[in-house]
Amino acid sequence: MDNKVEDSTQEDVKGIAGPEVVSRARWKYLDNFLTRPGPFTDPEAFDPGEAAIAGLERNKILVIGAGGLGCEILKNLALSGFKDIHVIDMDTIDVSNLNRQFLFRAADVGSYKAEVAAKFVEKRVKGVKITPYCGKIQDKDEDYYMQFGMIVCGLDSIEARRWINATLVGMVDETNPDSMKPLIDGGTEGFKGQARVVLPSMTSCIECQLDMHAPRAAVPLCTLATIPRQPQHCIEWAHIIAWEEHRKDDTLDTDDPEHITWLYQRALSRAKEFNIEGVTYSMTQGVVKNIIPAIASTNAIVAASCCNEAFKIATNTNPFLGYPEKDNYMMYTGDDSVYTYTFEHQKKDDCPVCGSGNIARPLTINPNTTLQDFIDGLAERPEAQLKNPAIRTGEKSLWMQLASLQEQLRPNLDKKMTELVEEGEELTITDKSFPTQFKYKVVFSK
C-alpha cells in the first residue's frame, strides 16, 4: 500500500468541510437523495443540497458495540456519509466471531474489537474518521455523551442498554434541544431481530419496553440439586453446584476449554446417574456461556435498519421511526417466510426512567415468599430484571448490597414479605448497574 497516495486522498476529502470544494463524484448516489426532495419529505425540515450535506457531515455519531451488529453499523454509517464516528467496545476478538463479524480476520483474534473495526473501516472508506474506545460505556460521563448527535447501539447485554438509556434520558434538559440524543437500538437472535428508535423523554424508552424482552426463567436450584430431568439441568448443576464444591478457588472462565471440559464431564456423569440423554460439549458451552445463535444475515438486516433510521434522522431525507406518536419499533422474523411488525410502543407513565413523575409501578408479590425469594425472583421478573438490588421501604432498609451492612440485615432474608411490608406500601429499589431508582407499590396476590 502506498502511504503517500492514501494521505493525499485523506486531505482532499477532509477539504469538504473547508472552503475548498472537492468533487462529490463518490457520493453521486447518496446525493440524489440529499439534493432532491421526495413525496414524503417534510419541506420544513428538509433543505435539499448544501445544507443537507453539511448537516450530515457535522453529525457526530456514537456506536456502542463493535461485534456482529457493530461491524455492520460502522460500515453502514461510513457509507451513509457520516464523517465523525466513535465506537465503544470492551471485548477482544474470538474465533467464534469470524462467521459474522466481517471486519475481523483470523490474525486479529485476541485484539480489541473497537480498534480493529475502526481501523478497517477507515482504510476502506476514505474520508471517514472513526475513534475507538476499548472499554466500558460506564467509564464515560455525561459530558462525553453530550458531544454526540445520536447514539446507535448494537449490544447483546440488556444491562448496558438500560444503562445508556437511563443516562441519555437523565441528560435531557428541556431548555436545550441539543441535549436530547436519539438512541437507536438493534438486537438479534437467530433469524429474528428488532430495531427501535428512542427519543429520550419524548417517546417510549428501553425501560418502558423492558417487559418485551423477558429473561428466560432460571431452573430452580432444588431441581438442579435433587431432581434433574434435562441435560441442561445436569450442566447447570455442574456449573453452579459441582464447581463450587470442587474448584472453589479457581475462577470459572467460560472461555477456557479445560474448564468447559471439566463441566462437561461432570454433567455427563450426573446425566448417566439419572439416565438422562443428550449432554454434549457444545450444549455445555451453550448453557454455561448463555450462547445466543447469531448469523451474518440477521445482523445485516437489523444493523441496516438502525442505520437507515440514523440516516433519515440526520438528514430528514424521509420520515423516520420514533417520531412522536408514530411507529418506533420494528420486529423482524425470518424463520417462517418473512414477517415484519412495525408499531408504536407507547411511553409508560410509570416508567422508572422516563415516567412523568415518580409513580410507583404495581408489583404483585406472593404473600408467602420470603425476602430472599423475592430478591432471587427480581432478576427474572420481566418488569424489573434487577440482579443486585438494594431495597428499602419509606422507613427502613430491607436489604443492601454493601457487605458490611448486609450482616445486620441478614435476619430479614428469612422473613416473609408480609412481615416486612404492608399492602400498598412503596418499595424503592436501586441496583448499582443503573443510575435509576425503581419505585414499586406492593400488591399481595390473592
Partner 1 sequence: MADLPPPVQGPTAKEKKYDRQLRLWGANGQIALENAHILLLNSGPGVVGIETLKNLVLPGIGNFTIQDSSIVSDADLGVNFFLEEEHLGGYRAELACNLLKELNPDVDGHFITEPIETWLLNPDALRPYTLILATAPLRPEILARLSDHASAASVPLFHIHSVGFYSHFSVHLPPAYPIVDTHPDLETTQDLRLLQPWPELVHFAQEKTANIDSMAPEDHGHIPYIALLVHFLEEWKKSHAGKVPENYKEKTEFRTMVSKAARTNNPEGGEENFDEAVAAVLKSLNPPQPSSAVKEVFKTKECLLVREDSPSFWVIANAIGLFYTKYNVLPVPGSVPDMKARSADYIQLQNVYKSKARKDLAEVVESVRFLERNANRTTVIDEKDIEAFCKNAAHIKLVRGRPFLVVLPSEKIKWGDRAKTIAQSLTFPDSLIPLYIAFLAWDKFTATHEKDGLGGAPHVPGTSDPDTDATKLTGIAFTIADDLVKEAGASIDKDEYAAIKTQIGEFANELVRAGGAELHNIGALTGGMVSQEVIKVITEQYVPVDNTCVFDGIRSKSMVINV
| Sign of the CA dihedral with 42 first, then 46, 47, and 49 last | negative
Please select the residue that binds partner 1; options are 62, 69, 116, 276, rule is CB under 8 A: 276
| 301, interface contact from Zn ion, partner 1, none, CB < 5-8 Å by kind | partner 1
Confirm or reject binding of residue 268 to partner 1 (CB under 8 A): yes
Instruction: Return d(Cα 74, Cα 132) in angstroms, integer.
Output: 11
| 248, interface contact from partner 1, Zn ion, none, CB < 5-8 Å by kind | none
Amino acid at 210: L
CB of 90 to Zn ion, least distance (A): 26
Touching partner 1, residues 226-255 (CB under 8 A):
227-230
33 versus 163: smaller Cβ distance to partner 1: 33
Instruction: Measure Cα distances from 351 to 168, 175, 213, 354, 439 in Å.
Output: 15, 22, 15, 6, 9
Confirm or reject binding of residue 285 to partner 1 (CB under 8 A): yes
Q: Write out the catalytic residue numbers.
A: 222
Amino acid at 151: I
Instruction: Return d(Cα 133, Cα 111) in angstroms, integer.
Output: 13
Touching partner 1, residues 119-148 (CB under 8 A):
124-126
Instruction: Return d(Cα 351, Cα 306) in angstroms, integer.
Output: 24
| 339, interface contact from Zn ion, partner 1, none, CB < 5-8 Å by kind | partner 1
345 versus 416: smaller Cβ distance to Zn ion: 345
66 versus 208: smaller Cβ distance to Zn ion: 208
Instruction: Return d(Cα 225, Cα 244) in angstroms, integer.
Output: 13
| 299, interface contact from Zn ion, partner 1, none, CB < 5-8 Å by kind | partner 1
CB of 395 to partner 1, least distance (A): 27
CB of 206 to Zn ion, least distance (A): 7
Confirm or reject binding of residue 307 to partner 1 (CB under 8 A): yes
| 351, interface contact from partner 1, Zn ion, none, CB < 5-8 Å by kind | Zn ion
CB of 108 to partner 1, least distance (A): 12
Instruction: Return d(Cα 285, Cα 354) in angstroms, integer.
Output: 38
Closest of 159, 212, 148, 224 to residue 182, by C-alpha = 148
Closest of 129, 74, 56, 62 to residue 311, by C-alpha = 56
Please select the residue that binds partner 1; options are 295, 379, 400, 413, rule is CB under 8 A: 295
Please select the residue that binds partner 1; options are 54, 171, 202, 296, rule is CB under 8 A: 296
Total binding residues toward partner 1, as defined by CB under 8 A: 92
Instruction: Return d(Cα 139, Cα 150) in angstroms, integer.
Output: 19
6 versus 211: smaller Cβ distance to Zn ion: 211
Here the cell at position 306 is 438502525
Quickly tell me which residue has 438422562 as its cell.
276
Backbone dihedral region for residue 424 (phi beyond 0: left; psi -120 to 50: alpha; all else: beta): left
> CA-based angle 166:129:111, to the nearest 5?
75
Instruction: Return d(Cα 11, Cα 127) in angstroms, integer.
Output: 8
CB of 137 to partner 1, least distance (A): 24
Instruction: Return d(Cα 227, Cα 50) in angstroms, integer.
Output: 69
Give exposure, 274-294, as e/b (b: 16+ Cβ within 10 Å). Answer: eebeebeeebbbebbeeeeeb
| 446, interface contact from partner 1, Zn ion, none, CB < 5-8 Å by kind | partner 1
Q: For 240, which DSSP code?
A: I
Quickly tell me which residue has 475462577 as its cell.
251
Touching partner 1, residues 20-39 (CB under 8 A):
23, 25-30, 32-33, 36-39
Closest of 399, 389, 406 to residue 421, by C-alpha = 399
Confirm or reject binding of residue 294 to partner 1 (CB under 8 A): yes
Q: What does the per-residue mask of binding to partner 1 show for 347-376, with x meaning CB under 8 A?
A: -------------------xxx--------
142 versus 189: smaller Cβ distance to partner 1: 189
Q: What does the per-residue mask of binding to partner 1 show for 71-100, with x meaning CB under 8 A?
A: -x--xx--xxx-------------xx-xxx
Touching partner 1, residues 383-422 (CB under 8 A):
none
| 207, interface contact from partner 1, Zn ion, none, CB < 5-8 Å by kind | Zn ion
Confirm or reject binding of residue 309 to partner 1 (CB under 8 A): yes
